Structure 1
Amino acid sequence: MKDIVRQKLSINVEIMDMLNKQIEKEAVSSSAYLAMASWCDHNGLENSAAFFYEQSSEEREHMLKIFKFINDNGGTAYAPEVKSVMHEFNSLEEIFEAALDQEIEITQSIHSLVQKCRKLNDFTTEYFLQWFVNEQMEEEQLMRRVLELFDLMRDEPLKYIDERIPGLREE
């Protein structure tokens, strides 16, 4: 009976399963950004902490957007389980490098979803995912801009880099 119900969904079953995996990836990202925010808070980097709290919130919003899309299209979204994220870092630069790596991984996952939608002629989901494609491009660019600050201001105190973090989001 379960297979018959899944066949009558308006969302493709393979795509739904991939979207549920994406929900989990977004949840992991949200938790990882919380851990990064905590490290920054603990080390007196207020602007960077605020930046990562905002990133965590955005990732949760992304997760919920996908969650709702699945349910709105007759599928079943599953609440993700986050097992562990890294909490220990050696530097702020290391955190931003990890954040960029994380964003690249999410981008690749979104691109795989879009490719699968094209293969299966799932135009509805592909259209939905275009927002994420654009969002990921912006997220990667933002992390790269921050890492450029480290290159440009290598000899400056960390405090000066931290002070410039809020302005990068507005650019």
Structure 2
Amino acid sequence: MRISQKLEKKINEQITEELWSANLYLSMSFYMASQGYSGFAAWLKAQSIEETEHAHQFAEYLITRNGVALVDKLDVVPQGWGTVEEVFENVYKHECHVSEAINELMTLAIEEKDYASQDFLYTFVREQVEEESTSEELLTRIKQAGPHGLFYLDKHLVRAANA
């Protein structure tokens, strides 16, 4: 059965959102690398790759449901970020924003009584719980580490990225 036009449109908007998120995290990664934080940069690069994969998953789902997957124009992402703490405050806020977008998609799927889409979206609902928790935990560690502990935390992320 073909996906509804409303859901197709909303999922295409989410594809754009995921690709914008990938660029956002890539921008943050480049910034962290330029500041000498290779661990934070590697973590953010991994997030960028994951967001691109999400865009692919949404597109593949639309195609499976006889919809049309689109890549829309992406707005420019911010380029300057400030402190490590400010970067990760933005990461956490952005993950909360993505959760809201996924919840809106789920609400529409429920309204449309599209059980297949609800099933597909549950993966992202669960993942967003994890993403918010992980980014909030990392932000807390950054705050606790203070300026002198950041390089230790950064080294830990380098090891985790290479594991």
1:80 is displaced (CA, Å) by: 2.8
Q: Match of 2:143?
A: 151
Equivalent position to 2:17, from 15, 25, 36: 25
Q: Secondary structure at the match of 2:36?
A: coil
Q: How many residues align?
A: 161
Counterparts of 2:72 and 2:44, CA distance in 1 = 21
Counterparts of 1:154 and 1:95, CA distance in 2 = 14
Which 5+ residue runs of structure 2 have no aligned equivalent? none
Identity %: 26
1:164 is displaced (CA, Å) by: 3.2
What do residues 63-103 of structure 1 show as CA deviations (whole Å, max 9, x unaligned)?
Answer: 11001111111111101321200010111111111111111
One-letter amino acid matched to 2:52: R
The yes-or-no answer on 1:56 pairing with 2:56 is no
Q: Which has the larger displacement, 155-164 or 133-142?
A: 155-164
- Normalising to structure 1: TM-score of the pair? 0.89
Comparing both chains, which one has the higher relative contact order based on Cα–Cα distances under 8 Å and sequence gaps of 6 or more?
2
Counterparts of 1:166 and 1:104, CA distance in 2 = 25
Question: Residues 168 and 99 from structure 1, CA distance in 2 versus in 1: closer, same or farther, beyond 3 angstroms?
Answer: farther
- Runs (4+) of structure 1 exceeding 6 A deviation are none
What do residues 42-62 of structure 1 show as CA deviations (whole Å, max 9, x unaligned)?
Answer: 111011111011000000000
Larger gyration radius, structure 1 or structure 2:
1
One-letter amino acid matched to 1:61: E
Following superposition of structure 1 onto structure 2, how do residues 7-18 of structure 1 map, counting pairs within 5 Å? 10-18=2-10
CA contact (8 A) 2:15 2:58 kept: yes
CA contact (8 A) 1:146 1:165 kept: no
Counterparts of 2:160 and 2:4, CA distance in 1 = 39
Which 5+ residue runs of structure 1 have no aligned equivalent? 1-8
Counterparts of 2:78 and 2:108, CA distance in 1 = 31
RMSD: 1.6
The yes-or-no answer on 1:95 pairing with 2:87 is yes
One-letter amino acid matched to 1:21: E
1:163 is displaced (CA, Å) by: 2.2
Question: Residues 97 and 168 from structure 1, CA distance in 2 versus in 1: closer, same or farther, beyond 3 angstroms?
Answer: farther
